[in-house]
Amino acid sequence: MTQNSSWKRVRKAVFPVAGLGTRFLPATKVMPKEMLPLVDRPLIQHAFEEARQAGIEEFIFVTGRQKEMLEEHFDYQPELERTLEARNKQDELEKVRASEMGESQLFCTRQAKPLGLGHAIWCARKLVGNEPFAIMLPDDVVLSKTPCLKQMIEAYDETGGNLVAVMDVPREETNKYGILDVGAQNGALTEVKGLVEKPKPEEAPSTLSVIGRYILQPEVFDHLSRFEKGAGGEIQLTDAMAKLIGSQPFNGFSYEGQRYDCGSRIGFIEANIAFAMQDPEIGKTVRSIVKQQAENADL
């Protein structure tokens, strides 16, 4: 696939990780919710690996208070590595090294006040600079053969402009998502004519919703800088994105894979089951356990 020469390549990804994770208290009383384990890796590492596999070179964390553990997780741990080497635990050593970021790859900035997703993205503006960037919400996890962001970047290399990952949702749940006003469809791409944040089901222009994967042009910062409040009294990313429509290409991208909402307890449990069942080491045993538990539940 050839790169559309009129648009810059996507090299940077922003990870908004300043949230408190109140749905998982008391587990998240001290530990950031992004460090909750999805099988054998924390949620933030799943997001990092997806971005890295998509060709991202710089990883920008928008953090808050008590989030130092996120940086530490990706840092070089010499004592741990020496211990694993001395004990000849090569598999474990490789897993540790796979979680490390090289020099000049990880950048952090702070969101001092919880003013919304749009505000969190605005906090990364100086680190992003004047180039397109991806946004990854670690709460949204996609199980797929080809990483979701890699699918999106391959599409972006053809279309340029702005791209959001989308999924169809039940109409009664449109008030939980950013919803597309849809135009023409071309394969996995759907033209975006408008965006509405959390509309009432009877007012939703469609049932095609945005999930936590975006590729945006830097002009979105011009609109976020106005600090206009939207749904819930927060600075909404959806509202700023909507203002790009008409001046730049804007498409929804229907990705291949299954999305799990790890921001909810049920979604997190479901994701752990699904990912564990696909694990080459433990998948067969997990499937047997799930089947047995289901049978026991019917007793």
Can you spell out the DSSP letters for 43-107? HHHHHHHHHHHTT--EEEEEE-TT-HHHHHHTS--HHHHHHHHHTT-HHHHHHHHHTPPPTTTEE
Q: Within 10 Å of residue 151's Cβ, how many Cβ atoms?
A: 22
The fold of 12-262 is Spore Coat Polysaccharide Biosynthesis Protein SpsA; Chain A (3.90.550)
Q: Which of 19-28, 121-130, 207-216 has the lowest mean pLDDT?
A: 19-28
Q: If we measure between CA atoms, which residue out of 136, 116, 132, 121 comes closest to residue 213?
A: 136
Arithmetic mean of pLDDT over the chain = 91
**Domain boundaries for CATH 3.90.550.10 within the chain:** 12-262
Q: If we measure between CA atoms, which residue out of 162, 164, 153 comes closest to residue 11?
A: 153
pLDDT of 30 = 87
pLDDT of 227 = 85
Q: Which of 47-51, 56-60, 188-192, 295-299 has the lowest mean pLDDT?
A: 295-299
| Type of residue at 249 | P
Rounded to two decimals, what is the model's pTM?
A: 0.90
HSE (side-chain half, CA atoms, 13 Å) at 52? 13
pLDDT of 101 = 85
Residue 251: pLDDT above 80?
A: yes
| Type of residue at 40 | D
